[in-house]
Chains A and B, each alone.
Chain A
Amino acid sequence: MNWDILIRYAPALVGGFGVTIFCWLMGSAVGLAIGFAVALAAAVPSRALKAVLRVYVEVLRGTPFLMQLFILYSGGPAIGLRLSATTAGIVGLGLYSSAYYSEIFRAGFAAVPRGQIEAAMSVGMAPIDILARVRLPIALVAAAPPIINTLIVMSKETVVLSIITVPELMYQMQTMAAETFTAFDAIFAMAVFYWCLVEVVSRLGRRVEERATAFLASR
């Protein structure tokens, strides 16, 4: 391991780490928002809408993330969609994860006991109140563990963004490797770094999960 090189490239690497976190957070926010909207829309009693949403989820879950990025970033300009690499990365990550989040939210809503909704209706709560005060809290608690799990999976997927030249950590590391002929060191450092990141996030996630379970049990 050559520490001089690592120190010389530290600014680029720190910047890359920032871009990684930025893309991860933004992409997850987009994904959670779309996923939630899709899960809500799937509850509308319309066959056509349900079929469209089913196709949306199946297509996004059935094709590789890298392929979706290529379609968005390289194929986009053909239909007048010109995105910078970082924007394409965030949009791509958001769309890809939204398919997973929508399934998670759907399962969360399905986990709300029927009796709770009936009780809310019988005391005369408005549909919007039933959603905000009864269905949503229960669904979110049920959805917390798989959401955290998907967040972790997506933090690893950000590495793929380097292939469409988003200047995140992997990209900066590969630039360093190419300029200084230290491919093995660089990749080894990346492996250790991501392993630590995932370990930390999953430990945090487990604590959130315990809290959520305790919250649910106290009800």
Chain B
Amino acid sequence: MRLSVIFHSFGYLTQAAGVTIALSLAGIALGFVFGTLACVARFSGKPWLERLGGAYVSVFRGVPLLVLLLFVYYFLATVGLDVPALVAAIGGLSLSSGAYQAEILRGALNAVPRGQAEAATALGYTAFDCWRRILLPQALRISIPPLINEFILLIKASSLVSVVGIAEITRVSMNIASMTYRPLEAYLAGGLFYLAINLSLAGLGGLAERCAAGGAR
């Protein structure tokens, strides 16, 4: 065990942690858009839309993320799109996360009392306004804790992006391991960074939960 390797790698890993967080943020934000669309589609009452939303969730939850990432990576190349690996990575992460977020939102929507949507309809709200002003705000408040949990999962999942060559924590740890011939120290240092990020996120989650509970009163 040589601790100096861990100390020396801190500078590189801090930068890499920024990449990991940025990737995951992009993934969760885009995934939220996909998830909301899929969820609204599943509640729309139109059979073909419902089936489409269901298929999206089933497929992207069923395919392992590593397979999905490589699929997006090779698919873009096959159709002749020469995009940077970063785009493929964010695409894969957000498509996968979107499917999980659709399920989170579905659970939250089921927890919103049915009377709310009926009251909105009775007051003459359009479907769009009902979603925007009545259903989604209430569902979102309920889904904050699971969404933060999903963000933690996404931070961990983003380690797989290293296979398409993006310099996030895992990739940088691999590079440090091969530069110093000290894999144990290098990977332990990388693991510490993930742990620090995720523990602070979990703390933030507890805080957000309390704030959201306060707002509901």
Contact = CB atoms under 8 A, between A and B. Distances in A.
Interface residues of B, number: 44
Interface stretch (A1-9, A35-43, A131-139, A184-192): A184-192
Interface string B51-90: 0000000110111111110110011011000000000000
Contacts of B208: none
Contact of B66 (A62, A70, A170): A170
B190 A67 contact: yes
Given A67-B159, A184-B78, A188-B71, A79 B195 contact: no
A67 B162 CA distance: 11
Interface in A183-219: 183-184, 187-188, 190-191, 194-199
A148 interface: no
Contact of A191 (B1, B67, B78, B187): B67
A195 B57 CA distance: 11
B177 interface: yes
A64 interface: yes
Contacts of A70: 170, 173-174, 177, 183, 187, 190
Interface residues of A, number: 35
A159 interface: yes
A160 B66 contact: yes
B183 A66 contact: no
Contacts of A68: 191
A64 B187 contact: no
Contacts of B199: 58, 62
A50 interface: no
A88 to B, nearest CB: 12
Given A65-B156, A160-B160, A199 B62 contact: yes
Given A67-B159, A78-B182, 19 more contacts: A58-B195, A58-B199, A62-B199, A66-B159, A70-B183, A70-B187, A71-B184, A78-B185, A156-B64, A170-B64, A184-B75, A187-B74, A190-B71, A191-B68, A191-B71, A194-B67, A195-B62, A198-B62, A198-B63
Interface of A: 58-59, 62-68, 70-71, 74-76, 78-79, 156-157, 159-160, 162-163, 170, 183-184, 187-188, 190-191, 194-199
28 contacts: A62-B195, A63-B156, A63-B191, A68-B191, A70-B170, A70-B177, A71-B187, A71-B191, A74-B177, A74-B187, A75-B183, A79-B1, A79-B184, A156-B63, A159-B66, A162-B66, A170-B67, A184-B77, A187-B67, A187-B70, A187-B71, A191-B67, A194-B63, A194-B67, A195-B58, A196-B62, A197-B62, A199-B62
